């Protein structure tokens, strides 16, 4: 039988040094059905965008070996897109992240710490609310003798209890979904989001068979089904979701109409005929990230260097092999400059960006040059600072996995099929 579709809209928020700003989004029209994926009916608008965790890039590279649509939204200098999530009647903006798997909400009454482990006021962690009140949720059931425990390379961490509750995104309601409810947090927040909606594979989840966070390890890791995987198992949605992210504006505060997260169908935006379906690559024997083979990165003077890349909505920029990033950034007019302290290519905000495209499965996907000059805020003198949308992702040693982030995702609709372990990438019409 036909299952319901959910679409969510997106938005964005402000951030720190070397963050991202969006331009006003175009009016969204329904996308035509394709031979592979129907239009979504569960659609959630993306409602905001927030600063990306500093350690995301390094943590990704360190790994070796129903139809629903929700609007997405964002905020100034933002780096991660947000969508509204409701847990048993309590509504929170959360980060939409195809590069991680856990669904979590900070718990009401949580204890905040700085990165040195010293207790701070809750405001220091800069969550967007006082947190999820489990005592006000009659459906919340505690998962005993386990813990949610995740840490990041920059020192951020979240740990606390785990439970089950009804989680709804864009009208797609999943009963008995396992979620983390951290009550200890060292977090550099954005004062908007209160948690995260992870959409990657179960192997990346962060629940452990211990209540002592110092004893969490791969040996006592308990993988669980993330939100969308549970929805598919419950038979309430088809086994694919799609994401469209719009480049936002330069206005501070929340901005609507920054795209859609669509469950069970394709996001409702205009697309053209350039499309390709690719297998998701395994990490060792398991699926972890949405990793695909890249045939080539195309720009003036480039070669046909192949690599692997993760499609990650939780990362603002594209991260390419070092040699490719250096060659591309040399083509900006005026030329991009490498900031040695941060390792970031900085560009003049009025610079002309070179053309850039990505070849996947023999098909060429064009990245709009507007996405390659990323506004990052102001320096200590009040001067505007911009960075390149294409950055150094490390040496191409055959093991590193690179990242196609929001700079790429602004230009395509990406569809993730968790049953066939395939991804379909479709070029968006210019907007």
Provide the pLDDT confidence category of residue 26 given band limits of 50, 70 and 90.
Answer: very low
Helix (H) or strand (E) holding 406: helix 406-409
The string of pLDDT tens digits covering residues 91-107 is: 999 999 999 999 999 99
**Alpha-carbon gap, residue 145 to 162, rounded angstroms:** 9
At 379 the pLDDT is 82
At 352 the pLDDT is 98
At 156 the pLDDT is 84
DSSP 3-state of 47: coil
Q: Is the pLDDT of residue 15 over 50?
A: no
At 257 the pLDDT is 76
Active site residues: 97, 312
DSSP string, 336-382: PEEETTTTEEEE-TTPBPPPEEEEETTEEEEEPGGGGEEEEEE-TTS
- Bridge pairing between strands 49-50 and 80-87: antiparallel
Q: What is the mean pLDDT of residues 17-42?
A: 42
At 42 the pLDDT is 79
Provide the pLDDT confidence category of residue 137 given band limits of 50, 70 and 90.
Answer: very high
**Quick one: 274-428 is in which CATH superfamily?**
Acid Proteases (2.40.70.10)
At 252 the pLDDT is 52
**Alpha-carbon gap, residue 200 to 225, rounded angstroms:** 10
Q: Is the pLDDT of residue 108 over 50?
A: yes
Helices in 147-246 by DSSP H: which ranges?
227-233
Backbone dihedral angles phi then psi of residue 428, each to the nearest 5 degrees = -80, 150
Distance of CA 73 to the CA centre of its chain: 13
Backbone dihedral angles phi then psi of residue 57, each to the nearest 5 degrees = -60, -50
Provide the pLDDT confidence category of residue 63 given band limits of 50, 70 and 90.
Answer: very low
Judging by beta carbons within 10 Å of its beta carbon (0-12, 13-18, 19+), is residue 311 exposed, middle or buried?
buried
26-to-21, 43, 246 alpha-carbon distances in Å: 16, 17, 8
The string of pLDDT tens digits covering residues 254-302 is: 566 799 999 999 999 999 999 999 999 998 889 999 999 999 999 999 9
Q: Is the pLDDT of residue 152 over 80?
A: no
As a whole-number percent, the residues of the chain with pLDDT over 90 amount to 69
Dihedral class, residue 398 (left if φ above 0, else alpha if ψ from -120 to 50, else beta) = left
**Alpha-carbon gap, residue 286 to 171, rounded angstroms:** 31
At 68 the pLDDT is 65
99 and 113 Cβ atoms separated by less than 8 Å = no
* Domain residue limits, the chain: 274-428
136-to-3, 16, 87, 159, 239 alpha-carbon distances in Å: 31, 34, 11, 21, 32
- Core vs surface per residue 350-383: b (16+ CB within 10 A) or e: ebebbebbbbbbebebbbbeebbbbbbbeeeeee
Count CB-CB contacts under 10 A for residue 55: 15
The two tokens of residue 36 are 């592979």
Helix (H) or strand (E) holding 408: helix 406-409
- Structure-model confidence comparison of residues 228 and 60, the more confident one: 228
Comparing C-alpha atoms, which of 366, 362, 426, 309 is closest to residue 37?
426
Strands of 291-294's sheet in order across: 291-294, 307-311, 402-404, 318-320, 390-392
The two tokens of residue 20 are 């991202």
Count CB-CB contacts under 10 A for residue 335: 12
* pLDDT, the chain, mean: 85
The string of pLDDT tens digits covering residues 400-427 is: 999 999 999 999 999 999 999 999 999 9
Q: How many helices and strands in the chain, by DSSP H and E?
A: 5, 33
Comparing C-alpha atoms, which of 346, 343, 372, 344 is closest to residue 357?
372
The string of pLDDT tens digits covering residues 172-222 is: 999 999 999 999 999 988 889 999 999 999 999 999 999 998 899 999 999
What's 72's DSSP letter?
A: B
Provide the pLDDT confidence category of residue 46 given band limits of 50, 70 and 90.
Answer: confident
């Amino acid at each position: 039988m036909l299952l319901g579709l959910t679409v969510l809209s997106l938005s964005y928020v402000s951030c720190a040094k070397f963050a991202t700003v969006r331009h006003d989004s175009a009016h969204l029209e329904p996308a035509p059905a394709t031979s592979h994926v129907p239009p979504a009916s569960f659609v959630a608008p993306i409602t905001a965008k927030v600063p990306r965790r500093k350690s995301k890039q390094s943590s990704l590279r360190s790994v070796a070996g129903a139809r629903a649509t929700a609007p997405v939204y964002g905020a100034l200098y933002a780096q991660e897109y947000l969508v509204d999530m409701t847990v048993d009647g309590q509504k929170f903006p959360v980060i939409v992240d195809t590069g991680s798997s856990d669904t979590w909400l900070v718990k009401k009454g949580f204890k905040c710490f700085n990165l040195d482990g010293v207790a701070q006021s809750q405001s220091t962690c800069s969550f967007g609310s006082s947190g999820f009140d489990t005592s006000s949720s009659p459906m919340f059931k505690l998962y005993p003798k386990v813990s949610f425990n995740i840490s990041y390379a920059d020192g951020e961490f979240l740990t606390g209890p785990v439970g089950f509750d009804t989680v709804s995104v864009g009208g797609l309601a999943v009963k008995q979904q396992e979620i983390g409810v951290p009550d200890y947090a060292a977090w550099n927040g954005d004062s908007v989001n209160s948690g995260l909606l992870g959409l990657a594979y179960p192997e990346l989840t962060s629940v452990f068979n211990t209540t002592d966070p110092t004893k969490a390890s791969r040996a006592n890791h308990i993988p669980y089904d993330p939100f969308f995987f549970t929805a598919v198992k419950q038979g309430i949605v088809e086994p694919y979701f799609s994401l469209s992210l719009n480049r936002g504006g330069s206005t501070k505060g929340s901005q609507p109409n920054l795209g859609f997260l669509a469950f069970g169908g394709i996001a409702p935006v205009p697309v053209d005929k350039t499309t390709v379906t690719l297998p998701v690559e395994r990490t060792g024997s398991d699926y972890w990230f949405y990793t695909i083979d890249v045939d080539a990165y195309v720009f003036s003077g480039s070669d046909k260097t192949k690599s692997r890349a993760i499609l990650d909505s939780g990362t603002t920029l594209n991260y390419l092999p070092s040699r490719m990033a250096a060659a591309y950034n040399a083509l900006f007019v005026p030329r991009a400059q490498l900031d040695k302290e941060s390792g970031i290519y900085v560009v003049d905000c009025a610079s002309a960006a070179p053309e850039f495209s990505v070849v996947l499965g023999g098909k060429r996907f064009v990245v709009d040059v507007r996405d390659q000059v990323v506004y990052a805020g102001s320096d200590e003198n009040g001067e505007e600072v911009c960075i390149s949308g294409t950055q150094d992702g490390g040496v191409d040693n055959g093991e590193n996995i690179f990242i196609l982030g929001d700079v790429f995702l602004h230009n395509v609709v990406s569809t993730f099929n968790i049953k066939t372990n395939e991804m379909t990438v479709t070029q968006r019409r210019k907007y």
